[in-house]
Amino acid sequence: MIAWLDSGDAFPPATDALTDPNGLLCAGLELTADRVLDAYGQGIFPWYSEGQPVLWWSPDPRMVLRPQDFRLHRSLRKTLRNTVYEVRVDSSFEAVMRACAELRPDQDGTWISEAIIAAYTQLHKRGLAHSVETWVDGELVGGLYGIALGRVFFGESMFMRRTDASKIAFAHLVEQLRRWQFELVDCQQNTDHLASLGAAPIRRAEFLQRLQRLVNSPADVSLQGRWQFDADLGASLTRTAKTA
């Protein structure tokens, strides 16, 4: 059995999560920006389907990426060299969320509900949730969104409408996070795709220990509110792609 959360109830410890299904911790009906923020600070995140109560998770192990471990693969290097694109930050947050929510060929539903969009959009307005977007000829063709707390970026979802468009956004994000001295990107679930980019699983106990330190390690004051990436970021990545 898992705990049921009424409005105002505290989350149970993440260590109380089930092993099957891996990480299911508790359920409830409340999904607000403050509730989501409280969850992330404790290593918990919402994931549920339309028609279900809000399900909260903390899997063990946890997939994470250290920015310095990111792998710039040959195919992505070629895309960075040969594609005319623009990377924008926080210019179309809700549009990115809605694009991530679109059904894909291997899916019969989406967990990014209207309630999720409302909560995360509120966090975006508060300067805590961010989108990184790939644009080509004025069209949004890929991107991702997530939440930044302290020196951790909690990645949520990404989408692409052209080859490697989401990876372009991710590469720019990770390089900028490295420059800003972020230490961890939370990828949540273990997938081959994330592993190919340099992410690796760690035990939940280690993740929670790191989280407690990093969430309470404030980032630079300039990162409050809407983000702005370094002007030379794209050129730097292109140079890396040419020499790698």
Residue with the bigger pLDDT between 107 and 148: it is 148
- pLDDT for the residue numbered 239: 78
- Could you give phi then psi for residue 55, rounded to 5 degrees? -100, 135
22 DSSP 8-state letter: B
At 163 the pLDDT is 92
Q: How far apart are CA 74 and CA 60, in angstroms?
A: 31
Residues 183-205 have pLDDT tens digits of 999 999 888 888 999 999 999 99
Give the pLDDT score at 184. Answer: 96
Residue 242 has pLDDT above 60, yes or no: no
> pLDDT tens-digit profile of 203-225?
999 999 999 999 988 766 567 78
The CATH class of the 63-243 domain is alpha beta
Confidence check: pLDDT of 110 > 80: no
**Helix 74-82 × helix 165-179 angle, to 10°:** 100
Confidence check: pLDDT of 243 > 60: no
Query: Parallel, antiparallel, or unpaired for β 24-28 and 3-5?
Result: parallel
Instruction: Tell me: pLDDT of 98 over 60.
Output: yes
Assess whether the region 3-59 and the region 63-243 belong to the same CATH fold.
no
Query: For residue range 24-71, what is the model confidence (pLDDT) as tens digits?
Result: 999 999 999 999 999 999 999 999 988 899 999 999 999 999 999 999
Average pLDDT, stretch 231-243?
A: 79
pLDDT value at position 221?
Answer: 54
Q: What's the whole-number mean pLDDT along residues 164-175?
A: 95
Q: Which residues of 136-164 are buried (b: 16+ CB within 10 A; e: fewer)?
A: beeebbbbbbbbbbbbbbbbbbbbbeeeb
- CATH number of the 3-59 domain: 3.30.70.3550
Buried b / exposed e across 62-86, counting CB within 10 Å, b at 16+?
bbbbbbeebebeeebbebbeeeebe
Model confidence at 96: pLDDT above 80: yes
Q: List the domain boundaries for the chain.
A: 3-59, 63-243
